[in-house]
Structure 1
Amino acid sequence: MPDYLVDYRYNGEPRSHRFDLNAPQLSVADAAMHLLQLHFGDSENSLIMPNADASPDQVVEQAGQLGLTDIKVTHAVTGEPR
């Protein structure tokens, strides 16, 4: 499975997170959705999450409104088989 390193800003502060996903590539919108789940998944207010039918642009816009900006998938590294 590839590991994806995502660099981003959360409320203006630079951060990075590594995602281990079974996907051939990770788009910025998909990374934004994973970051929303990471930062707000336990939130009592489920209205924070984009609708299931939200477009990639809407997902990125929602993430930006919640302080997740400058999202970049910097690389994918395929690890050893587990």
Structure 2
Amino acid sequence: MHNYTVKYLFNGEPRTHSFELSQARLPVHEAAMHLLQLHLGDAENSLVMPTADSTPEEILEQAERVGLTRIEVVGLAG
């Protein structure tokens, strides 16, 4: 398992979150998807989430629409 630290803004407020994942690297669009699930995964409206065939650009655009911006993977330990 790998521990990733992600810095980002959520509705303009700085946040940091750590994820423990099995994958060896975490591209920014995948970090955005994890953040979408973290913040909106239980939302009643599933239209907020990108589809399984969304491109990396579409995922990042959707994240920005719901207030997740400046997503940066800043650390890996493990």
Q: How high is the TM-score relative to the length of structure 1?
A: 0.94
Spell out the pairing of 1:49-60 with structure 2 (5 A cutoff).
49-60=49-60
Question: Which residues of structure 1 form unaligned runs of 5+?
Answer: none
SS where residue 76 of structure 2 aligns? strand
- Report the Cα distance in structure 2 between the residues aligned to 1:57 and 1:7, rounded to whole angstroms: 19
Question: Which residues of structure 2 form unaligned runs of 5+?
Answer: none
Segments of 4+ in structure 1 off by > 3 A?
Answer: none
| Residue 75 of structure 1: how far off its partner (Å) | 1.1
- Over the aligned positions, Cα root-mean-square deviation in angstroms equals 0.4
State the percentage of identical aligned residues: 54
Which protein is bigger by CA-based radius of gyration?
1
Q: How high is the TM-score relative to the length of structure 2?
A: 0.99
Spell out the pairing of 1:1-82 with structure 2 (5 A cutoff).
1-78=1-78
